[in-house]
Amino acid sequence: MSTLPPQPSAPGADRPARGPDPDDPRIEAWRAFLEAHARVTRRLDEELRAEHELSLAEYDALLQLARAPGRRLRMSVLADRVILSRSGVTRLIDRLAADGLVGREPCPSDARGAEAILTPAGRSRLAAASRTHLRGIERHFLTALSQADVETIGRVLGGVATQACAGAVSGEDRAASDCEPGEPRRRA
C-alpha cells in the first residue's frame, strides 16, 4: 500500500465537519470522561487485586450482595446491578464461590432461579477491601474535585445512566421483588 497523497498536515484544516463537529468542546467533555474512567478504574482494580486478590467486578458483586436484604440476590438481579451479562455473572459467582466468599442456593419461590448469598468470609473480605477501595476513590477520583463538582457529577451522571438505559436494546429490568421485597433500586 502506498501512502496517501501528500495532504499537508495542518491539524484541523481538512475536517469534513458534517453533523456534529469532532472538536466540539462538548465532545471533548465526553473524551475527558472516557479517559478519566479508564485511568481511575485501572488504578482501583490494581490496588484491589494487589491488596485483597479481588477484581473491581468481584468487589462490586460482594458489595451489592452486602447491601441486599438477606445478603442474597437473584442472579439476574445481580447481573443488572453490576452491569454484566447473565453468563458473566454466573462465572463471576463461580469464582467467588470457589473462594468461599459467596454461596449458591436455589430460589425458594421459583425453582428456575438461583440466588447468590454472601458468606461470613465474603463479608469480612469485603470489609477489608472496602478500606482500600474507598481510599482509592478518594485519592484517584475525589481529590481532584471540589465539593460542588462532586455534587454536579452525582446529580448529572445519574441522569445520564437512566437516559442511556431507556431505549436500550435489551429490555427493561423488571426483575427484583420476586424473591425478595427488596430495597428500591438505587437509580435506574
Residue from 171, 176, 58 nearest 115 by CA? 176
**Between 109 and 152, whose beta carbon lies closer to DNA?**
109
The site partner of 128 among DNA, a second copy, none (C-beta below 5 to 8 Å per kind) is none
Among 40, 51, 113, 137, binds DNA (CB under 7 A): 113
The site partner of 93 among a second copy, DNA, none (C-beta below 5 to 8 Å per kind) is DNA
Contact stretch for DNA (CB under 7 A) within 89-97, 143-151, 155-163, 180-188: 89-97
Angle between helices 25-52 and 56-67 (to 10 degrees): 80
Among 15, 31, 39, 91, binds DNA (CB under 7 A): 91
Count the neighbouring beta carbons within 10 Å of the beta carbon of residue 44: 21
Among 63, 66, 90, 117, binds DNA (CB under 7 A): 90
Among 62, 93, 101, 129, binds DNA (CB under 7 A): 93
Tracing cell 441486599 back to the chain, one arrives at 68
Q: Kindly state the cell numbers that stand for 32.
A: 475527558
**Between 165 and 178, whose beta carbon lies closer to a second copy?**
165
Question: What does R_g of the chain's alpha carbons equal in angstroms?
Answer: 21
Contact stretch for DNA (CB under 7 A) within 25-33, 76-84, 128-136, 141-149: 76-84
Count the neighbouring beta carbons within 10 Å of the beta carbon of residue 89: 23
The site partner of 53 among DNA, a second copy, none (C-beta below 5 to 8 Å per kind) is none
Whether 157 and 186 have beta carbons less than 8 Å apart is answered as: no
Minimum distance, C-beta of residue 77 to DNA, in the bound complex (Å): 7
Sign of CA dihedral 69, 113, 184, 30: positive
Residues 89 and 172: their CA atoms lie apart, in Å, by 18
Which of the residues 126 through 145 are near DNA (CB under 7 A)? none
Minimum distance, C-beta of residue 67 to DNA, in the bound complex (Å): 18
Residues 101 and 166: their CA atoms lie apart, in Å, by 34
Which spans of this chain sit near DNA (rule: CB under 7 A)? 55, 57, 74-76, 79, 84-95, 104, 107, 110-115, 175
